[in-house]
Structure 1
Amino acid sequence: MITYNPKDWFTFIFRFHKADTLRKLAPLIFGISVYCWVIAFLELHVLKIPDNSHIKQITVMHTLLSFVISMLLVFRTNTAYDRWWEGRKQWGSLVNNSRNLAIKLHSMLGYEDAAHRSFFKKIIPMYASVLAHHLHAESTRLALDEQEHPELRELNTSQHLPNQVAKLIIQRVNKLYTEGKIKGDQLIILNNELQSFTDICGACERIKNTPIPYSYSVFLKKFIFFYVMTLPFSFALSLGYLAVPVVAFIFYVLASLEEIAEEIEDPFGGDENDLPMNKMAQNIKKHVVEILS
């Protein structure tokens, strides 16, 4: 995720980063510009359409449709940002619940329970790491660090890995209860954090696996395309060759909004504006180790 100063205007205006839409849309902008120049050349020099032609009245259609396209783009960007913010809230909950679980276990376990403490130091942060890789990858795979993890030998990498790690956590907590390390009321206290891991995973999967409906996305792209493709017919008569940069800029604005929405609607990808899940998983590991040490 890009960290920036929202008050630095000049940096925003004159800086082009990897995620900038101008880089991605440059070929299309160039094609639209060439298309607009051809239309202007034909109307002004080949067909020599007079200024009072009815073609110039196409701007009335553009005026009417501009309200419709603005409402569609507002809905599109708001929906995409809601998905991004929902993903951030879920990972914020994962950070808090991991800390709370570690704090509660620290208060319940004695210092003589070194084996249990060592297990939870590894397994609680590992859930966040496994979930991050699960959401990044199309096919689930486990990416552990270089240390040995004998407590995870039962994991089957062909199955749902976050569920397996959550199962190991609950099994160890249940073992603490059967051994008398924690009481029944303490087990109930731990239940909220234990259950929240799977709830967060399910919510993130819902965002990851349910994009905006296909028909809506296709219609919006077609709408923008045909809207921009009809602009040169009227603009060339009123603006001349100046219509080329004007139409190119209009296309850049409309297409950029759609491009931004496509990027942020999946907050678990590898784009610069996506959530830094690996960094948050590292912070969880740091905090849990500090608490249980």
Structure 2
Amino acid sequence: MISYNPKEWITFLFRFHKADTFRKLFPLILLIGFYSAAVAYLELEYWDLPEDSRVKNLSIMHGMLGFVISLLLVFRTNTAYDRWWEGRKLWGALVNNSRNLALKLHAILDDEKDRAFFRKIIPGYASILNKHLKDEETSKQLAEDIILPVDHHHHRPNQVAKMMFMRINELYKNQKITGDQLIILNSEIQSFTDICGACERIKNTPIPYSYSVFLKKFIFFYVMTLPFGYVFSLGYFVIPVVVFIFYVLASLELIAEEIEEPFGHDANDLPTSKIAENIKKHVEELI
């Protein structure tokens, strides 16, 4: 995730970050520019269309469809941002739940061996979940004395949660914790699985294919018809105007695509690795 100062306007205007949409769209921008130049040349020089040509009325269509495309893009970006923000809230909840579990275990457990286990397994869950959501290979050893045999045909975060609950149940059988304490700790471990399931829902349920394809086609054909209608009033200035309109519309779609799945490796995705490291630091301070 990119860290920045939102008050530095000058920096934003004259710096192109590697995640900037202009870099990604540059080949298409060139193509749209050449296309607009070709249409402008054909209409002004080759076809020599008169001022009262019906082609000039295409701008009426653009005015009507401009409202429609703006509504579609607003819905698209808001939906994508909601997914990004929900992912951030889920990982914030994971931070708080990890702290709460560590606080309760610190007060309940007396055996240093038991404390050491949870000191490593709680942040281990966040680390495994981070890798699970990024589809990364998970190492077989989470930490010293905690071995997780990785079976890629099984759910890896669930394996860690199972280890935690089995240890909690073992403490109950050995009468190191009471039944009431077992219920309290069980609810904390259950919240980990709830967070994992919600993150998987975001990751595995993208925007419907037909909607995404339709919006891309809509933007493309809308921009492709712009030079035909506006060349009469703008002349060759239609080239930068069409390029700019394409850049704005396509950038909104690109931004939505990037943030709708917030657990990947894109520049604007959530810093889940850093959050997992913070969980490790906080748990080690508490237990």
How high is the TM-score relative to the length of structure 2? Answer: 0.97
Which runs of structure 2 are paired with 1:1-293 in the superposition (5 Å)? Answer: 1-110=1-110, 113-137=111-135, 141-143=137-139, 149-292=144-287
Residues 59, 234 of structure 1: 8 Å contact kept:
yes
Q: Which stretch shows the higher mean deviation, 3-12 or 154-163?
A: 154-163
SS at match of 2:146: helix
**For 2:139 and 2:10, how far apart are their aligned partners in 1?**
41
Residue by residue over 1:26-57, the C-alpha shift from the partner in whole angstroms, topping out at 9 and shown as x without a partner, is 00010000000000000111010111211111
CA distance in structure 1 between the partners assigned to 2:150 and 2:258 by the alignment? 33
Q: Distance in 1 between matches of 2:152 and 2:219?
A: 44
Bigger CA drift: 147-156 or 266-275?
147-156
1:239-263 deviations in whole A, cap 9, x for unaligned?
A: 1100000000000000000000000
| Structure 1 segments unaligned to the other structure (5+ residues) | none
Structure 2 CA distance for aligned equivalents of residues 93 and 143 of structure 1:
25
RMSD: 1.3
Mapped contact 1:141–1:158 kept (Cα < 8 A): no
For 2:113, the aligned partner's letter is A
1:171 maps to a residue whose letter is: M
Distance 1:240 1:229 in 2: 16
Which structure 2 residue ranges, 5 or more long, are not aligned?
none
* Contact 1:133–1:143 (Cα < 8 Å) also in 2: no
Q: How far off is 1:144 after superposition?
A: 6.4
Maintained 8 Å contact 1:177/1:183: yes
Q: Secondary structure at the match of 1:272?
A: coil
| Cα distance between partner residues in 2 of 1:105 and 1:156 | 29
- Residues 125 and 284, structure 1, Cα contact 8 Å, conserved in 2: yes
Over residues 33-92 of structure 1, what are the superposed CA-to-partner deviations in whole Å (9 max), with x where a residue is unaligned? 000000000011101011121111110000000000000000000000000000000000
- CA shift at 1:153, angstroms? 4.5
Percent sequence identity over matched residues?
Answer: 65
Q: Deviations over 1:156-213 (max 9, x none)?
A: 3442110000000000011111111111111111122110111000000000000000
Mean Cα deviation higher: 128-137 or 180-189: 180-189
